[in-house]
Amino acid sequence: MSEQNQQQEKKLIFSGIQPTGTFTLGNYIGAIRNWAPLQDEYRCIYSVVDEHAITVRIEPAVLRRKTLEAYAQLLACGIDLEKSLLFIQSHVPTHAQLSWVLNCSAQFGELSRMTQFKDKSRKHQDDINAGLFDYPVLMAADILVYNADLVPIGADQTQHLELARVIARRFNSRYGDTFTVPEGYVPPVGARIMSLQDPTKKMSKSDENPNAVILILDDKDTIIRKFKRAVTDSGSEIVFREGKDGINNLLTIYSAVTGKSIEEAEKEFDGKGYGDFKLAVGEVVADHLAPVRDAYARLVDDKAYLKECYTRCGAEALRYSQRILNKVYRKVGFVASEIR
């Protein structure tokens, strides 16, 4: 079988990430780190979804900077452009074009039940715009415009994926077989990383306490300092147990970064104090992220190289998705256009 045919036999994965700033250790361990290994098993299409970012107010210059920084971070985290596509969403207009068609297969009630819309509406009560309400349909278009088979998801995205599946089935029922109904892809190890200052909450870059969050571009001294200040408990045992949220979180991080099991980590630190344990976790995390920091520093300043990458990938994504959009347009009855 030719290499091209082998590629066609592989299932297609789509995943996108918003350019909201430097990725956290939680983003990295829970999602982004898993993107690189997928490239050997699947056809992978990845996107910096800047159109989603404007559902809340953001300064144009800040959005441009964060978009390029997110692109460089993904390359630094191992996205290989010989194996995958990595593009900027707004460069590929088929996403927005398909989104409008899919709006006509989405129901108002379905969108009004989206948990993230409710949460973001509470946070941005002065700007509850139509895009904030409707962005799950754009998410569906991001996926369906490539007929993706699989979508890596976390617990907070299952509702959006299910909406994409509902819309795909509804469109197929009305117009005939058009879209692949995507499935969720859950990585074999999907560690959930919690705040270092409140380990009952998910680690988030929006946390007001900078010591709660490890950013993947933090230098080694900063990472170790934050881990030294991590909340633990009043005990002394380094064991994974109910009621020891802080230690459980640190063990989870140590296990995810080193590849050792929780049980192996518990044995390694048996009899040692919390201070030694927190220092060890900080050191392995800092050393693990060092290649990412180094690669990012090289990439982010090479604007010409980044432009070459996102332009080439965007053009290829557009060619691929345009074929699917053209099929959709024919199905709904639009007159074919010769405008190019």
Are 274 and 311 part of one and the same domain? Answer: no
Whole-number pLDDT of residue 110: 87
Whole-number pLDDT of residue 2: 43
Q: Which residue has the tokens 């997110």?
A: 70
Q: Look at residue 195 and tell me if it is in a domain.
A: no
Are 141 and 224 part of one and the same domain? Answer: no
Q: Look at residue 176 and tell me if it is in a domain.
A: yes
Are 291 and 306 part of one and the same domain? Answer: no
Q: pLDDT below 70 — which residues of the chain? A: 1-8, 118-125, 155-156, 187-191, 340
Instruction: Quote the CA–CA distance of 161 and 179 in Å, as a whole number.
Output: 14
Whole-number pLDDT of residue 3: 47
Catalytically active residues are: 120, 202, 205
Whole-number pLDDT of residue 114: 81
Q: CATH number of the domain that 215 lies in?
A: 1.10.240.10
Whole-number pLDDT of residue 113: 85
Tally of structural domains, the chain: 2
pTM of the model: 0.90
Are 141 and 53 part of one and the same domain? Answer: yes
Domain encompassing residue 226: 210-297
Are 29 and 121 part of one and the same domain? Answer: yes
Are 116 and 249 part of one and the same domain? Answer: no
Whole-number pLDDT of residue 1: 37
Are 168 and 61 part of one and the same domain? Answer: yes
Are 9 and 156 part of one and the same domain? Answer: yes
Per the prediction, the chain carries an average pLDDT of 91
Are 236 and 164 part of one and the same domain? Answer: no
Q: CATH number of the domain that 122 lies in?
A: 3.40.50.620
